[in-house]
Amino acid sequence: LAKTTQPISMDSYEGQEVNITCSHNNIATNDYITWYQQFPSQGPRFIIQGYKTKVTNEVASLFIPADRKSSTLSLPRVSLSDTAVYYCLVGDNAGNMLTFGGGTRLMVKP
């Protein structure tokens, strides 16, 4: 399974756009890139998944360059409630297990 590297922590302010980048240099051809969000005392929550180029949903956007060795989760206009840990995961999409790394702890300040 491909290993991912993310910043340990990031700070932002309300209303700003936050971009969290994840590197996954040994991503395989069949691998998808998935991001999860986790609040204290809760399980991880699915945010977005993509394979290449750009994916957007009502919560976030995911940018994936052509070489797919990195990806960037973009959160538009964050609020205090977006303070959480964000995990980048890489794996195939066949219902197989996820491998969590250390995640990025995002702190949104007023």
The binder of another protein chosen from 8, 29, 43, 67 (CB under 8 A): 43
80: amino acid identity, one letter: L
34 binds another protein (CB under 8 A): yes
Residues facing 34 on adjacent strands: 49, 89
Give the nearest distance from C-beta 85 to another protein in angstroms. 10
Of 6-14, 21-29, 74-82, 91-99, the segment contacting another protein by CB under 8 A is 91-99
Of 9-17, 19-27, 68-76, 98-106, the segment contacting another protein by CB under 8 A is 98-106
Give the nearest distance from C-beta 109 to another protein in angstroms. 26
Distance in angstroms (rounded) separating the CA atoms of residues 110 and 77: 12
Main-chain phi, psi angles of 103, to 5 degrees: 75, 170
Comparing CA positions, the residue from 29, 23, 105, 37 lying closest to residue 72 is: 23
